[in-house]
């Protein structure tokens, strides 16, 4: 019949919860904002400049790619701004302007748009940008050198570097309370552990990220660091120290949980998160980098397509004679 309504069949998902990409982006930035503001307060105008330049250039690169590829503008969904903010949070406050622009270019163009845009990227775009810079100009990420001219009312040494070179006894001067409250050196958005944890819990409660990845990430990091400490207590620090230093909480709640580069099924999420936490501790304790969160997440991004194929077996069996 000409006027008869037809059934339209499309691919999953088949229902929508009413949220959209811009809502998710806005909430992620809102959750990360306290940690960013703390970094701007701690490091002053240089940190403000890095954050502003990172977010703005990420949006500009996205807009230019949309123009070049003759696709509708996607800057309104906020994803480019999120990538710019995550990239800024991983920078030291004294990062030169050209490095910020290069990092956001790599993040947006190479990490995201080259794969077709949002949803197609196999790696976390912000981490791609940071990793390229770390491998190309590693001195930029030397926290102790970058913050040499700052005067803090707490130990100015980067905790993970002190641990790496001088052992567990060298970090006894770092109070766990100070580490939790952000009284430590580091990248712009990684120091304030309490704010990052509360921001992550907010995202979990609101349903913007799943708890499985963050939980298994932190659980594996705690267990692995405890085993290292039991093996050589004079050389390796304990779980709470590793939990509150470096990019641990930023990685657990804001970086490892990026949608396109992480699993969507329950068991794969647990494996993915646990593998990331394990890799972080292996890199920190026996690898060549003081932190390791950036490279650990990227390595697990690489295994994500294989991990996400793990499925629980269906119960029962099909009767072939039915």
pLDDT in the model for residue 7: 55
Q: What is the structure's pLDDT at 170?
A: 86
Q: Going residue by residue through the chain (322 aa), what tens digit of pLDDT does each one get? A: 555 555 555 444 444 444 588 999 999 999 999 999 999 999 999 999 999 999 999 999 999 999 999 988 889 999 999 999 999 999 999 999 999 999 999 999 999 999 988 888 999 999 999 999 999 999 999 999 989 888 888 888 999 999 998 889 888 889 999 999 999 999 999 999 999 999 999 999 999 999 999 999 999 999 999 999 999 998 999 999 999 999 999 999 999 999 999 999 999 999 999 999 999 999 999 998 999 999 999 999 999 999 988 876 666 565 555 4
pLDDT recorded at residue 309? 85
Cα 39 from Cα 223, distance rounded (Å): 29
- Output the pLDDT for position 63: 95
The sign of the torsion formed by the CA atoms of 76, 79, 83, 88 equals positive
pLDDT of residue 154: 87
As to burial, measured by CB atoms within 10 angstroms (0-12 exposed, 13-18 middle, 19+ buried), residue 60 is middle
Report d(CA 313, CA 299) in Å as an integer. Answer: 27
Whether the CB-CB separation of 57 and 51 falls below 8 Å is answered with: no
Q: How many residues comprise the chain?
A: 322
Residue ranges of alpha helices (H) inside the chain are: 21-43, 45-68, 79-90, 97-105, 125-136, 143-146, 159-166, 176-180, 193-206, 211-231, 239-244, 248-250, 266-286, 293-307
pLDDT of residue 13: 46
For residue 110, what are its two tokens?
């190479």
State the pLDDT at residue 17. 46
CA distance 315 to 322: 18
Output the pLDDT for position 321.
53
Asked if 108 and 65 touch (Cβ cutoff 8 Å), the reply is: yes
Q: What is the pLDDT of residues 28-43, one digit of tens each?
A: 999 999 999 999 999 9
Domain positions in the chain: 21-140, 155-305
Residue 140 tokens, joined: 């930029």
* CA dist., res. 47 & res. 249, Å (int): 20
């Amino acid at each position: 019949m000409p006027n008869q309504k037809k059934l339209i069949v499309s691919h999953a998902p088949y229902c929508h919860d009413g949220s959209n990409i811009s809502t998710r982006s806005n909430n992620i930035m809102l959750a990360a904002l306290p940690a960013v503001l703390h970094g701007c307060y701690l490091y002053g105008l240089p940190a403000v400049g890095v954050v502003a330049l990172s977010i703005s250039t990420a949006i500009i690169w996205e807009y230019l790619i949309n123009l070049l590829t003759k696709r509708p503008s996607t800057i309104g969904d906020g994803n480019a701004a999120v990538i710019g903010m995550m990239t800024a949070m991983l920078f030291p406050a004294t990062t030169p302007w050209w490095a910020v622009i290069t990092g956001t270019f790599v993040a947006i163009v190479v990490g995201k748009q080259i794969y077709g845009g949002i949803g197609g990227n196999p790696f976390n775009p912000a981490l791609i940008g940071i990793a390229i810079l770390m491998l190309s100009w590693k001195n930029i990420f030397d926290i102790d050198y970058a913050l040499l001219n700052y005067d803090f009312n707490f130990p100015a040494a980067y905790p993970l570097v002190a641990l790496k070179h001088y052992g567990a006894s060298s970090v006894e001067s770092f109070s766990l309370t100070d580490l939790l409250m952000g009284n430590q050196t580091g990248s712009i958005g990684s120091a304030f552990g309490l704010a990052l944890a509360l921001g992550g819990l907010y995202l979990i409660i609101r349903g913007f990220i799943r708890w499985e990845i963050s939980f298994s990430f932190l659980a594996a990091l705690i267990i692995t660091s405890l085993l290292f400490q039991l093996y050589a207590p004079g050389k390796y620090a304990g779980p709470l120290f590793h939990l509150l230093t470096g990019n641990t909480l930023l990685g657990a709640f804001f970086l490892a949980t990026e949608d396109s580069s992480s699993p969507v099924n329950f068991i794969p999420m647990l494996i993915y998160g646990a593998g990331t936490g394990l890799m972080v501790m292996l890199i920190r304790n026996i690898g060549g980098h003081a932190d390791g969160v950036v490279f650990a997440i990227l390595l697990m991004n690489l295994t994500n397509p294989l991990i996400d194929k793990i499925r629980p077996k269906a119960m029962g069996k099909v009767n072939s004679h039915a």
